[in-house]
Amino acid sequence: MSRLGNLGARLYRGEVGYDFIGKRKIWYGLSILITITAILGLAVQGLNMGIEFKGGAVFNTPKTSASVSQAQNAAEEASGHPAIVQKLGNGGLRIQVSELDTQQADKVKTELSESLKVDSEKINAELVGPSWGEQIANKAWTGLGIFMILVVIYLAIAFEWRMAVAALIALIHDITITVGVYALVGFEVTPGTVIGLLTILGYSLYDTVVVFDSLKEGSKDITKQTRWTYSDVANRSINSTLVRSINTTVVALLPVAGLLFIGGGVLGAGMLNDISLSLFVGLAAGAYSSIFIATPLVADLKEREPQMKALKKRVLAKRAAAAAKGESADDSGQPQDGVPDDAATDDAATAGAVVGPRGRGRGRPSGRRR
38, 68: one domain: no
CA 245 to chain CA centroid, nearest Å: 12
CB contact set of 132 (below 8 Å; sequence gap of 6+)? 52
Side-chain-side CA neighbours of residue 185 (13 Å): 14
31, 71: one domain: no
8 Å CB contact between 15 and 361: yes
124, 144: one domain: no
**136, part of any domain:** yes
Q: Which of 121, 126, 116 has its CA nearest to residue 63?
A: 116
User: CA–CA separation, 133 vs 127, rounded Å?
Assistant: 13
**165, part of any domain:** yes
Last residue of a domain, one of 128, 157, 172: 128
CA 88 to chain CA centroid, nearest Å: 31
* Helix, strand, coil abundance in the chain, percent, nearest 5: 65, 5, 25
231, 296: one domain: yes
Q: What is the C-alpha radius of gyration for the chain, rounded to an integer number of angstroms?
A: 27
Give residue 91's domain range.
56-128
**163, part of any domain:** yes
CA 257 to chain CA centroid, nearest Å: 15
244, 117: one domain: no
Last residue of a domain, one of 94, 111, 128: 128
Using alpha carbons only, what angle is made at residue 189 by residues 183 and 195, rounded to the nearest 5 degrees? 120
214, 84: one domain: no
How many C-beta neighbours within 10 Å does residue 57 have?
A: 26
Q: Which of 19, 33, 125 has its CA nearest to residue 366?
A: 19
**75, part of any domain:** yes
104, 241: one domain: no
Cα distance between the two ends of the chain = 29
Q: What is the CATH number for 257?
A: 1.20.1640.10
123, 136: one domain: no
How many C-beta neighbours within 10 Å does residue 102 have?
A: 10
286, 140: one domain: yes
Instruction: Give the count of domains, the chain.
Output: 2
Q: Which of 277, 239, 230 has its CA nearest to residue 256?
A: 277
User: What is the pairing mode between strands 124-128 and 56-60?
Assistant: antiparallel
Q: Which amino acid, residue 332?
A: S
Per-residue confidence of the chain (370 residues) as pLDDT tens digits?
556 556 656 665 656 678 899 899 999 999 999 999 999 988 888 888 877 777 788 888 888 888 888 888 888 888 888 787 877 767 788 888 877 777 788 888 888 888 888 888 888 888 777 676 677 778 877 888 888 888 889 889 989 899 999 999 999 999 999 999 888 888 778 877 888 888 888 777 888 888 999 899 888 889 888 889 999 999 988 988 888 888 888 888 888 888 777 765 555 555 567 788 888 888 899 889 989 999 999 999 999 999 999 999 999 998 888 888 875 444 444 433 333 333 333 343 333 333 434 334 444 444 444 3
45, 67: one domain: no
71, 194: one domain: no
8 Å CB contact between 232 and 338: no
Q: What is the CATH number for 100?
A: 3.30.70.3400
**28, part of any domain:** yes
**88, part of any domain:** yes
33, 71: one domain: no
**322, part of any domain:** no
Q: Which amino acid, residue 335?
A: P
8 Å CB contact between 200 and 172: no
**333, part of any domain:** no
8 Å CB contact between 355 and 236: yes
Last residue of a domain, one of 302, 331, 359: 302
